[in-house]
Chains A and B, each alone.
Chain A
Amino acid sequence: MKKKALALLLVALFVVSLCACGGGQANTATLNVYNWGEYIDLDTLDEFTARTGIKVNYTTYASNEEMYSKIVSGAASYDVIIPSEYMISKMIEEDLLAELDFGNIPNYQYIGEEYKGLDYDPDNKYSVPYTWGTVVIVYNTKYVDEEDVADESLELLWNEKYAGKILMFDNPRDAFALAHSRLGHSMNTTDPAEWEAAAEQLIEQKPLVQAYVMDQVFDKIIGEEAWIAPYYAGDAMSIMDDNEDIAAYVPVEGANRFFDSMCVLKSSRHKEEAEAFINFMCDTEIAEINAEEVCYAIPQVESFKLLPEEMREDTMVYPPEEVLEKCEVFINLPPETLDLQSRLWIKLKTTY
């Protein structure tokens, strides 16, 4: 009898806890923020709660695609997300993003004019830029010969001398962009033949690749397990802070330039709180703290002025105009190209 009572109690507890998770609490809002890994100073979240009383449930993803599939599957509900530009245009097209009420985001005035009205959100309706940057090639000066990096080329990623010491993006959009650049294609090409050719490049490179990784780049490059990796400029800066033998360059063939912007999902039940969060992130002081932590370039003009000089003048974080001219911003690919990209990526991973 006692056992039965205990079992019932356990079942009841289980059910109650399920309901608690599903229902959420009514009085104090909890904001679900979904961001890239290693992409914020976590103390600022506590500061946000201290200022507004709104709690933040913070989770991270490793790629735009991961974030997207989690959201369309409906497996979890998020309020604020920080995708890259091509994903934002895709999500605008699919009507997943809410139009922002900029009356709730007065700090939007600090965003530099050159970061407004960009192609992915031409009318500034859905997004507020958080950071931007380019893809760079990171390498370890202890192991990589000077002559191999003298030309600052993508060829380093295909250099057989460093077989087994090269890391590669574990997401198709970034990986294919490198192959397209090597071949002189646009990263946004929709020509199937060019995609097939790029896939050949990646398959050719596969035997040289130690591993396909995302955030693990940090550990592997800092620990010198791998010597060469393409990665995002801000993260490259963080890596260079932790290991002084690491250097990086924007490849001469050109690189992807990305804008990661804060958006609110249409399904969000806390839109005002979400806008308060975005406004908080644009606060001059907070944006400066985050910029120092994540090392990416920021669009907030006032915060930029507060940054330490070496950061403001770092040409990797804020590349000169002639470098930026070679860079290309992703646009959302049409479905048939995405399909082809998916098939070719799986082909790469199933070529044994």
Chain B
Amino acid sequence: MSKGVTVGNKKANLFPFSSWMVLFVLVPIALVVYYAFTDVNGFTLSNLKWIVTYRNTLWLSIELALIATVICVLLAYPIAYSMSRASARVQRNATLFIMLPMWMNFLVRTYAWMTLLEDNGLINSALRAIFGMEFPGLHLINNHGAIVLGMVYNYLPYMILPIYTSLTKIGQSLIEAARDLGANGSQVFGRVILPMSVPGIISGITMVFIPSISTFIISKILGGGKDFLIGDLIEDYFLGNSGVVNYNIGAALSLVIMVMILAATFIMNHFDKDAQTSGGGVI
């Protein structure tokens, strides 16, 4: 903000932020909490027990989201690392290319994978054309692998960019100092670069894991609508596709997920503080 602002104005300047937070964060959360702890008869805790009924769904969602997150870290780190070592022009272009798919609608991008992965899709057709034979066992879609692929593809940029940012913040002088003090290549990486990029990794993990665990559209499009993830279950309770609309159970399941994510973020933020105090910016 500009220099001459007085304290009173500062409050006024916060108005857009605070009204946004109240309208679109606090009020919705209050509604979720309200629905989660009520039913037609008033206050109740019984909605929460459904998370026990659906524990297998919860585990499956956590499992797939974790796999997707780990794959994202493994893919994103080398990409971000090589980007951060490249010339300024290459860095600019690389960032642009990573952002490019995000200019397209999420649904369209995910549907595009359907065309690629189907039994008669581009990948299978190309394989058939190249090798001149059938691959009857090669089913790339409507399974858990395709769901993970959808998560990795859609959320990878959110992993690359924070890692890249944290890597570019590491001063060249620091690396030179490590070298001067006798560290070899892998020691420089293991003891200087990697620890200093932890905030970026953590930020990336949060930004990939959270949308992955709550997705419902990826599992529907790439999973063939066969196996519900927790997001599908919540959607079903709110939209009543299975014949019954129940906001209370839907809200209770959402609340459990929110609390879990909040707890995980809290733990990771602590871990982050222990490892590094500079930069990164965990959401």
Chain A residues proximal to chain B, CB less than 8 Å: 7, 11, 63, 65-66, 68-70, 72-73, 164, 170-173, 206, 209-213, 223-225, 338-339, 341-342, 345-346, 349-350, 352
Contact = CB atoms under 8 A, between A and B. Distances in A.
8 contacts: A66-B239, A172-B241, A172-B242, A211-B224, A225-B118, A225-B120, A341-B243, A350-B228
Contacts of B228: 346, 349-350
B203 interface: no
Given A172-B242, A210-B224, A342-B242, A349 B120 contact: no
Contact of A206 (B57, B139, B226): B226
A136 B57 CA distance: 33
Given A173-B243, A350-B57, A209 B120 contact: no
Nearest to B247: A73
Nearest to A7: B16
A172 B57 CA distance: 19
A65 B225 contact: no
Interface of B: 16, 54, 56-57, 60, 118-121, 139, 142, 224-228, 232-233, 236, 238-245
A76 to B, nearest CB: 13
A33 to B, nearest CB: 20
B120 A223 contact: yes
Q: Which 5 A-B pairs have the closest CB atoms?
A: A211-B224, A212-B225, A342-B244, A69-B240, A345-B242
A341 B120 contact: no
A345 B243 contact: yes
B100 to A, nearest CB: 26
Nearest to B246: A342
Given A69-B239, A170-B225, A349 B245 contact: no
B60 A352 contact: yes
Contacts of B54: 350
Given A209-B226, A350-B54, A225 B119 contact: yes
Contact of B120 (A68, A170, A224, A346): A224
A68 B226 CA distance: 23
Contacts, number: 82
B120 A65 contact: no
A68 B241 CA distance: 9
Contacts of A224: 120
Given A65-B242, A210-B142, A350 B226 contact: no
Contacts of A211: 142, 224-226
B241 A63 contact: yes
A67 to B, nearest CB: 10
Of A70, A73, A352, most B-chain CB atoms within 10 Å:
A352
A110 B236 CA distance: 40
Nearest to B223: A211
Contacts of A11: 16
Nearest to A219: B114
A63 B240 CA distance: 11
A65 B16 contact: no
Contact of A338 (B60, B119, B139, B243): B243
Contacts of A173: 243
Contacts of B139: 164
Given A69-B245, A211-B142, A349-B228, 8 more contacts: A70-B239, A210-B224, A211-B226, A212-B226, A213-B224, A213-B225, A341-B244, A352-B227
A173 B224 CA distance: 19
Contacts of B226: 206, 209, 211-212, 349
A141 B200 CA distance: 55
Of B142, B224, B239, B241, most A-chain CB atoms within 10 Å:
B241
B244 A339 contact: yes
Nearest to A173: B243
A172 B243 CA distance: 7
A350 B243 contact: no
A164 B136 CA distance: 11
Nearest to A213: B225
Contacts of A72: 245
A212 B118 CA distance: 15
Nearest to A206: B226
Nearest to B245: A69
B225 A350 contact: no
A86 B167 CA distance: 61
Of A7, A171, A206, A350, most B-chain CB atoms within 10 Å:
A350
A309 B142 CA distance: 41
Of B142, B224, B243, most A-chain CB atoms within 10 Å:
B243
Contact of A352 (B16, B56, B225, B243): B56
Nearest to A1: B2
B227 A65 contact: no
Contacts of B241: 63, 65-66, 69, 170-172
Contact of B227 (A69, A73, A164, A350): A350
Contacts of A73: 245
Contacts of B239: 65-66, 69-70
B233 to A, nearest CB: 7
A4 to B, nearest CB: 9
A81 B227 CA distance: 31
Contacts of A170: 225, 241
B97 to A, nearest CB: 30
A124 B231 CA distance: 41
A53 to B, nearest CB: 34
Contacts of B142: 210-211
Of A72, A170, A211, A339, most B-chain CB atoms within 10 Å:
A211
B224 A341 contact: no
A164 B119 CA distance: 10
A65 B241 CA distance: 5
